[in-house]
Structure 1
């Protein structure tokens, strides 16, 4: 996919690198290649933060509703995730393509050559600032997505813990587990569409605004 995108965008962008390299030596070429690789890695890592934040909060959500002990397989990585987290990660990626955000990603790659012209040395300080800002933004979005489930888990577990203190002879946690899961699934039924829209909206805003 990377090779295909490179070949597709080369006719649009080849003029500026050639102009910068004209008359330069091998050292200039190597420095330019390293700088562009670092810039590309910065853009890719920032985009990846959004999906990592989503996967993290989905694990928290599945733990909150009692589904985390069931191991699942990632659709794009080797790290296991709970099945519910895998399903919604795949749904988020599918929505990205269904809403044509991959075209915005290509437009962003083309636009990055105007925002960061070829020949401009990679600024480590600016790159770290961008990483920190977008990392915090991605996890704020994740907290917005997971906040109903976190509140649900706090309230339910507080109530169950209080009940267990009042009647310690009854295995309250064992009895309440199916009801916790049922309530969590019901909450997910009513909020799944909204939290996927929040994620796709935040990712689209980053693609359009940088």
Structure 2
């Protein structure tokens, strides 16, 4: 770090290079990237984390910034893409929980008018809002943000600044994370999918026996009641599996 003090320009360039990777990651990860977090808070958080990580990775970052202007511009672009790719892994995983909430609502017939999303400037189903917000709180209670910062630090070893970014490897990592996320979310939503299939099959068979009775109309409250009761019984285990499986997705990077 003493060499950096005698070279203020190099220190600023190194800090900005670290900010590109860390800021791009914070730009897309769940929680920090929501519309409820002001832009100033996100910016200052990214700068603070960059200043905290820079002394730890000084030997990895500082020697790479003393290059020509065109090479430094390429370095900035590659660092931004790498940071965004790391953040997208967590983003995909969290979007998978929203997918589970949507599937759950459809399978139990809970089609109430949507309300304001608690995280984004959009509308969302009430049950999906409950599940996604609880899942986000669960992740941060288990130091999800610390895991992401550790992943960014370790990425300087796995993806050093001197090599730039490899599009093929990044696409493979994102594809692996999507595949792993889909399997985990299918596991979480499988009880509700099975419940919806069995309930609607039974209702269809009863409707065949008594076609004059509007069985589908009569059975809707029971479908919703049974689905909400199943949600009450299984939401704790669902969120626990969701939180425990995050490390498995991060290994796909």
Shorter-chain TM-score tier: over 0.9
SS state at 2:111 partner: coil
Alignment match, 1:6: 50
Residue correspondences, number: 209
Q: What residue is the counterpart of 2:142 in the other structure?
A: 99
Please provide the CA RMSD for this pair: 1.6
- Mapped pair 1:63 → 2:106: yes
Q: Which moved more, 1:163-172 or 1:142-151?
A: 163-172
CA distance in 2, matches of 1:137, 1:121: 26
- Shift of residue 3, structure 1, vs aligned partner: 3.1
For the Cα contact (< 8 Å) 1:108–1:208, is it kept in 2? no
Q: Does 1:73 align with 2:116?
A: yes
Whether the 8 Å contact between 1:65 and 1:185 is mirrored in structure 2 is: yes
More deviation, 110-119/142-151: 110-119
1:6–1:74 CA distance, 2 compared to 1 (3 A): farther
Looking at structure 2, the residues matched to 76 and 60 of structure 1 have their Cα atoms a distance apart, in angstroms, of 19
Is 1:193 equivalent to 2:236 in the alignment? yes
Task: Give secondary structure in 2 for the equivalent of 1:63.
Answer: helix
Matches within 5 A, 1:16-165: 16-22=60-66, 24-165=67-208
Which stretches in structure 1 are left out of the alignment for 5+ residues? none
Instruction: Determine if contact 2:203/2:215 at 8 Å carries over to the other structure.
Output: yes
1-structure distance, mates of 2:124, 2:116:
6
Instruction: Give the SS at the match of 1:200.
Output: helix
Structure 2: segments with no counterpart, 5+ residues: 1-44
Q: 1:101·1:204 contact (CA, 8 Å) conserved in 2?
A: no
Distance 1:159 1:208 in 2: 42
User: Greater CA deviation, 172-181 or 138-147?
Assistant: 172-181
Distance in 2 separating the partners of 1:4 and 1:163: 63
Cα offset, 1:209, TM superposition: 7.2
Do the aligned partners of 2:93 and 2:249 also contact (CA within 8 Å) in 1? no
Aligned-residue offset at 1:205: 3.1
Q: State the partner residue of 2:247.
A: 204
SS at match of 1:48: helix
Report the alpha carbon displacement of residue 105 of structure 1 after superposing the two structures with TM: 1.6
Bigger shift: 197-206 or 171-180? Answer: 197-206
Question: TM-score, structure 1 length as denominator?
Answer: 0.93
Which one has more relative contact order, counting CA pairs under 8 Å at least 6 apart?
1
Q: Residue 64 of structure 1: CA displacement?
A: 0.9
1:107-127 Cα deviation digits (max 9, x unpaired): 111111111111212111111
- Asked whether the equivalents of residues 46 and 131 of structure 1 are also in contact (C-alpha less than 8 Å), the reply is yes
For the Cα contact (< 8 Å) 1:74–1:86, is it kept in 2? yes
Contact 1:49 1:138 in 2 (8 A): yes
